[in-house]
Structure formats: structure tokens, C-alpha cells
Structure 1
Amino acid sequence: HEAIDGVDFIVSDQSYSSLARLVKKSGVDTIIHSFLVLSTASTPSRSLHEINVIGTMNLLAAAGQSSSKVNKIVVKSSSLIYGSSFRDPSFFTETTPRSSKPKTEVESSLIEAESYIQEFAEDNPYVDLCVLRFPNVLGPTIESDLSQALIKGVAPVVFGFDPLLQFVHEDEVLRVIDFVMSDSISGVFNVASPDRCPWSRVYGKAKATPLIIPPFFTAQATALYRALGIAKVPSELVDLLTYGRGIDSQKLAKLGYKYLYSTEEAVDKFAEYASSLRGRAVPKPLASIANP
């Protein structure tokens, strides 16, 4: 990490097992939990559960201990929690139930992690707890399965489908976190500009070549693409690129939040960046996540 005045960087294991001691020793009053893994592409199921579920449980236990001064927790979650299915509504609100059972370990882990977060919020009403559900995040310092494919100049496309998607720019993520930190805001919030963009327009703007995924034998096709180093397309991403997803963020807007970028503008900004990297060494991202 680069040195930042007034900031101490402390290395912890991925399950946050040492966090209780750190919270007690430092006397921190705010925790931002942004370490949830959102892809099965490069994280084994056991590690994914340890990070998302056990890590969240340890974080909440640390924040809720008797000596804790924590009064604000912000969790960066994902719209992946809603899944993607042909039965889905056009837009999910924060209370809309899934229209299908979770199909992947990452979806199950998010649901379980958020269930513990909800229990903590009910048991600790003095703590302002915000859960922010973001769609796909794009930006030069964020690594995701989709963004890395676009930077390579390829776009996974499920044959016969052109789903509508939402995107937020990485600057928007920081801006929203700052917004909910500035007041006594708590609850679960979808975070996305209301407009959606066809996937074909997204990869067209990025000048990426379609990488066709057959609607049948998809696992074999995606395994081949991964083995060849072309693209990582986990099953949750295949579902997204088949059916799309829309989230309704009116709840956040009613609190006065105004978006810096629309979906289209976030895509334009990233597409320009991705196109500029063709033929050059890709800089190492500051954050490695995956945002289906």
C-alpha cells in the first residue's frame, strides 16, 4: 500500500479472525466491509465461504463486542444476490424476493452473509448499518471478470441473447459510501442509475469481439475459454449474460443521492479506457473483485 497520512494499514487474514482485537485496541467507530468475493472464477468454494460468510460473522462479532465503539458499518454487497432468471421482474427492489433458488456458491454465500448482517442490525439498533447492493462495477482500478474481458478485447456472448445490464463507475462506489457515511443512514439500498444498456452496446463501445457461448454445453465452452486464457466466465456470469438484471434504486434517491454517471456514461468512460490499453501492458488493478 502507498502511505496515506493519518491511515494505518493492518494486514489481517481473509476471515477477519484478528479483527476483534484490532477493533478493541484501536477504538474505531466506523467499519467499511468491502471484501466480499463476487465470483466463483478464481476462488474455491471453501475459501469463498470463509471470506464471505465466516469473515462477515467475525467482522460483526468484533463490532458487537462489549468494548466496541463501532456505531457505523457500511457493507459493499452486490445485486448478484437477486440472481438472474427468465422469471425475474424488470427491476428488483430491495425487498423483492429471488425468482429462483441460488445456483452458485457465491450467491448462497451472499444470501447467508446478508442474513447475519440483518440479524446484527436487529440486535444492535444503536449501530447504523448500511448494505449497498451494486451491479457491475467498471473502472481502471477495479478488476472483474467482465472488465478484464473487455480490456482484452473480447466479450462473452450467450448465443441468441442480448441482455439489459446496469453498470456503476468505481468513482460512484466511493461517492455512495461517502454519502451514507455523512448521516445517520441505515438499511439496505440498491445502487444503480435507472437506465440499462444492452450488452451488445457495451462491448461495441469497448470495441470488443464477441466470444460466443452456446446456450447448451456452456460449462464445457467456458472451461475451454478459461483454459486458453481468453476469458473467465463463471456460471453466475453466464446467467447474467443470458437474462440480464435490473435493480430499482429509488430508495436511495429519496434520501437525496444524485448519480455522477448514468449507466451509459459509466460504460463510455470505461470503454475509452479499455480501448486505450490495447497493445499496451495492462496496469495492475488496486482492487480485485468480480461483479456479475
Structure 2
Amino acid sequence: MPSKVVLVTGVGGELGGRLLARLGTDIELDRVIGVDTTAPRKVARKLGNAEFVRADIRNPLIAKVIADAKVDTVVHCSTTCHPAGPARRMAIKEVNVIGTMRLLAACQRSPWMRKLVVKSTAAVYGAGPASPAVFTEDSELIPTSSSGYAKDAVEMEEYVRRFSRRRPDITVTTARFTNVIGPDVDTVLARYFALPVVPTVLGFDARLQLLHSSDALSVLELATLEDKPGVFNVGADGVLTLSQAIRRAGRVELPVPRSVVPSVARFLRGARVVDFSEDQVRLLNFGRVVDTTRLKEEFGYRPQWTTEAAFDDYVHGRGLRPVLDGEQVAGLAGKVLSATGQVPR
């Protein structure tokens, strides 16, 4: 049976808000409901037939919203892997873990539920010197740290698997996105590559696989409108090394010893520029690439943007231009080095 009443969580975010607006124009859907603690931002006036309900998925009342509307499809977009800027860790963990538990409990009790779509992350595979060159959906889930955002995603996926066993009648789709980038999204990497001077780890040049925000949106929409059961890696074709990406963005690379990387991360976080978790730092050390064969052959979607094209669209859309101001570059480099106890040369 096709979806008729869809509920989308996390519509206060860029991706969830755009999905809500797109589904709101689909005449085959009877009702589209977006829930979050904050209203959709840029797309607030373009929701079509969709509606917004201010609700917190951590609150058991989310069950009443699902039951009263007789929701048959839930798209869970409120999970956060890497907040772009400094954020309260416990608040995000509550949404990622407690919020998911409350939402799944509500879905399990609903007799009208027939489909669940979950936005997850490829960060569940971790990143390290012993990692495989390419991760498949069957690779072991090993978050980098025992308390980071990637660990939240691993826990969330375990809850989803248990839910699927309890309600085998419900179609469950889990999409593990690589790092999403584009001209209209605010992410860790979007802020990182916009820095005039980009700190990197001396001796490392990680491989990065990205995903254009429009492809991420298309995958979620397709999973909502059609039955696509299973777990799928979602990433663009091709990779960029970290050094290549920095050059394409016209930034200046600042290699620093690995031992001072945590200090650099704290400096950038303290300056409220970008928030680097341990998971993200290790990604920039070792990189991560996923296999997308299942996405193309079983799910039936081939990303329209390659990693290189997605990154270039981000650069052009953000209006990034080569850094030419030598004094500005030297000044920022000096601040970074001073904050880490290094002596600028």
C-alpha cells in the first residue's frame, strides 16, 4: 500500500524542512505532518499541503500525534551526528537516543503504521588506521569514541533493529549518509572548508566521500513514497583527498602535529566557529569511503552528483574565493598555533 499520512521529524533542520515542503506538494498524499521544537526556517512559506506541529519527540505525547492523525509512515530526520557549531552534548544525545526510543515506542503501538524511514550516518563505521578501504552495509559498526555522536547513531540503529523484529509487518529503511554538503546546508565540513586557514594533521591526507544535499533529499523522498526495505549506504561516486578539497576551495592548508589536533579543535570550538568531535577529527585523519552498490541495485537510486561535483557546487554556492590576504592568513595561523602552544614561524 502506498503512503497516505506521513509524519516527518526534525523539520526545523535544513533536510527535514525541505523534505516536508517537497512531500507537501505530492497530490497522492492525504496529509503530511512535520514535527519539531522549532518551525521550518527557509521553507516555512512553501509547505504546500503540509502542516507543522510543534512537538518534542522526547515527550510521550508524540504517540498522541501519531495516533490522532492515523500516521502510516514516519520519516525520522531529527537525528544529529555532527552539529555544525558548538552545541550542548547532552541535549543532542537526548534527541538522538531518548527521542528515538519514544518515537519507536509510539510507532510500535500504532495499528496504522506500515513504514519507517530513518536517517542515519556512515559514521557508525568509525574511522581508523585498521579500517577497511571501503565499508559495506555488513561491516562492523565501531564508533570512534565511547561517548560521541556516532555512538548515538549506533545505539539508535540497534533500537530500530529491535523495533523491526517486534513489528515485522512494517517496512523499515535505514539510510547511512556520508557527509552531506551543498550550498544550502550548514554542516561541520561546510564550516571547516570555509576557514581561511584549514588545519590538517601532519602526515595524513584522508579520503573523503561526500553526498550532495539534493541527493540526500531525493533518497529520503523515494524511501517515503516507495517500499525500500533494508539498510543502505548513501554516498556520491568518487572521492576527494583532504588536500585536494582544500585547494579546490581556495583555502590555505596548515598542517599541525597530531598531538596538538585536540587543542586546535578546542580553539575552533571555543571561538564558536566549528565544533569538532573526536569522531570528526578521526575522519579528517583517516577518511571513510562506503560501497553504494546496494543503493544503486536494490534501492534503485544513483546519486546525480559526484563527490567532486558536490564539493564544487558547495564552493560556488557559498561564494568561496581563494584566500589572497597574506596578513589575514598569517594572523589566523598565528592564533591557531598560539592556542595550541606552538610558536608561529
- State TM-score, norm by structure 2: 0.75
Answer whether contact 1:52 1:113 (CA < 8 A) is retained: yes
1:57 aligns with 2:98: no
Distance 1:19 1:72 in 2: 17
Matches within 5 A, 1:125-164: 125-164=168-207
For 1:173, the equivalent position in structure 2 comes to 216
Q: 1:261 to 1:27 in 2, by over 3 A?
A: same
Following TM superposition, by how much is the alpha carbon of 1:28 offset from its aligned partner in structure 2, in angstroms? 1.6
Letter paired with 1:224: F
The structure with more radius of gyration:
2
1:94 alignment partner, SS class: coil
1:236 aligns with 2:279: yes
Residue type of the alignment partner of 2:188: D
Distance 1:214 1:230, change over 3 A: farther
Q: Comparing both chains, which one has the higher relative contact order based on Cα–Cα distances under 8 Å and sequence gaps of 6 or more?
A: 1
Report if the CA contact (8 A) 2:148-2:277 is conserved. no
1:269 maps to 2:319: no
- The Cα offsets for residues 240-263 of structure 1, whole Å up to 9 and x where unpaired, read as 000000111111111231221111
SS in 2 for 1:218: helix
In structure 1, what is the Cα distance between the partners aligned to 2:247 and 2:146? 30
- 1:52 Cα offset (Å): 0.7
> What SS class does the counterpart of residue 173 from structure 2 fall into?
strand
Contact 1:38 1:106 in 2 (8 A): yes
The amino acid across from 1:243 in the alignment is F
- Runs of 4+ aligned structure 1 residues displaced above 6 Å come to none
Q: Out of 138-147 and 226-235, give the one that drifted further.
A: 226-235
Structure 1 range deviating more: 103-112 or 18-27: 103-112
Q: What is the CA-CA distance between 1:103 and the residue it aligns to?
A: 4.0
Residue aligning to 1:259: 303
Asked if 1:46 corresponds to 2:90, the answer is yes
Judged with a 3 Å threshold, the aligned counterparts in structure 2 of structure 1 residues 101 and 228 are, in CA distance, closer, same or farther, namely closer
| SS in structure 2 at match of 1:248 | coil
SS in 2 for 1:87: coil
Residues 214, 221 of structure 1: 8 Å contact kept: no
Q: Give the letter for the 2:307 counterpart.
A: T
Percent of pairs identical after alignment?
Answer: 27
CA RMSD in angstroms, aligned pairs only: 2.2
Report the equivalent of 1:118.
161
Check the 8 A contact 2:126/2:143 in 1, yes or no.
Answer: yes
| C-alpha deviation, 1:146, in angstroms | 1.2
Query: For residues 249 and 177 of structure 1, what CA distance do their matches in structure 2 show?
Result: 16
Q: Tell me the amino acid that sits aligned with residue 108 of structure 2.
A: G
Shift in Å at residue 272 of structure 1?
1.2
SS of equivalent to 1:142: coil
Q: Aligned partners of 2:101, 2:118: CA distance in 1, in Å? A: 13
Residue aligned with 1:126, SS: coil
Q: Any stretches of 5+ residues in structure 1 without a counterpart? A: 280-292
Residues in 1 aligned to 2:48 and 2:117: alpha-carbon distance in whole angstroms? 22
The CA deviation at 1:178 is: 2.0
- Compute the displacement of 1:135 (Å): 0.7
* Offset at residue 80 of structure 1 (A): 0.6
Q: Does 1:105 align with 2:148?
A: yes
1:85 to 128, 133, 139: 128
Is the Cα–Cα contact under 8 Å of residues 57 and 116 in structure 1 kept in the other structure? yes
Match 1:207 to one of 250, 257, 262: 250
Question: Structure 1 residue 192: deviation in Å?
Answer: 1.1
Q: State the secondary structure of the residue aligned to 2:78.
A: coil
Q: Which amino acid aligns with 1:223?
A: R
Identify the residue that residue 285 of structure 1 maps to in structure 2.
none
Other structure's SS at 1:133 match: strand
How many residues get paired?
278
Q: Deviations over 1:127-184 (max 9, x none)?
A: 1111100111012332111102223444341122110010011000111112223322
Distance 1:86 1:124, change over 3 A: same
| Residues 14, 120 of structure 1: alpha-carbon distance in 2 compared, 3 angstrom cutoff | closer
Distance 1:36 1:277, change over 3 A: farther
- Matched-pair contact (CA < 8 Å) for 2:128–2:286: yes
Q: Which amino acid aligns with 2:313?
A: K
Secondary structure at the counterpart of residue 228 of structure 2: coil
1:2-23 CA-to-partner distances (Å, cap 9, x unmatched) read: 1322111011125253210100
Q: Of residues 63, 74, 80 in structure 2, which corresponds to 1:31? A: 74
Q: Which residue identity does 1:130 align to in structure 2?
A: T
